[in-house]
A and B are shown apart, each in its own frame.
Chain A
């Protein structure tokens, strides 16, 4: 079993900090995820057509577009979550993470998912205590040392800006948290295993504006440490949080570039129409 990079081997003994990761200068500079000529189909239904894009490291990349345009499908390709769906498969092209083809037969999907965390549209805390939610990923990775888990729980809750709100009730059931807190808990849970990449699938779609603002702020702060890909329906959100934006329409990537350019001076007519609210 070939490890994607040296990192997962370090689990479970020691999870290196993101910043300690030596930057391999020979690697395609700063590109974390490289999607090349990707076609994807659910059975006979083709939903992604020839998608190519580079997701830069330590930056926020947003996927925007109307419902059913394939942006969530692409996101779920990156941690191979689509493996769970019967009949769903990549029909052409490849995704490379740090230079390794993630669909190569020798890649262990468990290693991949440990490196690529995910936050779902509907917050999905486990019906366990807050502490157990955060420690779940570490425990399944084989970490047993209580002090290390305690430390990781505090660190990831702080990173998700949730620590002050829950530090006195870590043993309370996570279902008792508010919707926004639950989603931040899910973010903290994803951060606890120290992934390189965090995928976010419309993380704010079920939240009120205040909770949304908190999560956006959080995404902004996390950018320095993690590579983040976020799917969003909300264009203002994409504009506020992302460095790069890809606009999808009917399974095709219409335009991809720096967010400021996409929002102020798109080269494609359809991008402009969508962003100005003419459709979608």
Chain B
């Protein structure tokens, strides 16, 4: 049956409209991504990169944040960091009208270190609990009502907003366990947050190991644990680790879970400057996402704070991108190596 001409025209028109809606929606995504990356890339590179060799603003990457002092002196505009300003004062006795802007001089080195420490620790926690849990679920447990309940719990845990994790961590680790604002509290809070992703990824990787390898091993008189340890886990581990790297990006990026549990706005000592090694776990740290939050919402905004904001954001993006890239490269390498 052939539609009447008017009808056909109508459907052609609808076809075209729908097509354009889809197309515009897709382009919109591209536009947003481009805008964000260009905006941060261009404004951030003014802080992070330099015109002269070594083309990277090493000071920004290797120094702690300092307060910036801005003032006019003999008609010249001076921008001095805390330390420079104090030196300057020793030689210049005259009074100047100074504006001080927090965090806007120096760099973000402690934030980079802090984020790295948070990522390493929380991924250790998450991988240990997550892999154990996945092994139990996929290798030991028999399907039943209780196991289904656990799976629902895992799914629900994945849907919990990060600020709730932050408050949970604050309540349990900071207050109840008395760990205070510390690396340890942050590790466990972030670790629990990515746990569902790790469990799911690990279970998938474990299930991808052919049943024949388990049976072959058991048939040779291996115990279940020997089989898992020698003939299942080694083949699942690369998959578990690569999938977990996406978890790393999340751990590195979240602000809400650490703002009550692990992050300091400003700290003068570096994490390794502790009186006793046990204190290492009980110290708060600075972190990239929290630093961005602080410099963009906790202090008065001006052109000087903007530099730090964009610079930090750019460094942060590069760090996360590098982690993601590593994950993709590792996965490709592993795909070529293991194929059943």
Contact = CB atoms under 8 A, between A and B. Distances in A.
Query: A and B: real partners?
Result: yes
Interface of A: 79, 81, 84, 86, 110-111, 113-114, 117-118, 120, 122, 124-127, 136-137, 140-141, 186, 189-190, 193
A122 B212 contact: yes
B220 A113 contact: yes
A195 to B, nearest CB: 9
Given A110-B223, A140-B226, A126 B217 contact: yes
A126 B221 contact: no
Interface string B211-225: 011111111111100
B215 A124 contact: yes
A86 B235 CA distance: 24
Given A86-B142, A124-B213, A190 B231 contact: no
Contacts of A86: 142-143
Contacts of A193: 220-221
Given A86-B142, A126-B231, A136 B215 contact: no
B216 A126 contact: yes
Given A86-B142, A86-B143, A124-B212, A118 B219 contact: yes
Contacts of A189: 216, 220
B86 interface: no
Given A86-B142, A127-B235, A120 B216 contact: yes
Contact of B221 (A81, A110, A124, A186): A110
Contacts of B231: 126, 136
A126 B221 CA distance: 15
Contacts of B340: 127
A43 to B, nearest CB: 12
**Size category of the binding interface on chain B:** 20 to 34
Interface string B172-205: 0000000000000000000000000000000000
B142 A81 contact: no
B171 interface: no
Contacts of B218: 81, 84, 113
B220 A140 contact: yes
B212 to A, nearest CB: 3
- 5 closest A-B pairs by beta carbon, nearest first, are A114-B221, A124-B212, A137-B220, A118-B219, A124-B216
Contacts of A125: 216
Given A86-B143, A126-B231, A127-B235, A137 B210 contact: no
30 contacts: A81-B218, A84-B215, A86-B142, A86-B143, A110-B221, A110-B222, A111-B221, A113-B219, A113-B220, A113-B221, A114-B220, A117-B219, A118-B219, A120-B212, A122-B212, A124-B210, A124-B215, A124-B216, A126-B213, A127-B235, A127-B338, A127-B340, A136-B217, A136-B220, A137-B220, A137-B222, A140-B221, A140-B223, A140-B230, A193-B220
A79 B221 CA distance: 10
B160 to A, nearest CB: 32
Contacts of B213: 124, 126-127
Contacts of A114: 220-221
A11 B231 CA distance: 21
Contacts of A186: 216
Contacts of B221: 110-111, 113-114, 137, 140-141, 193
Given A84-B215, A127-B235, A140-B230, A190 B210 contact: no
Contacts of A126: 213, 216-217, 231
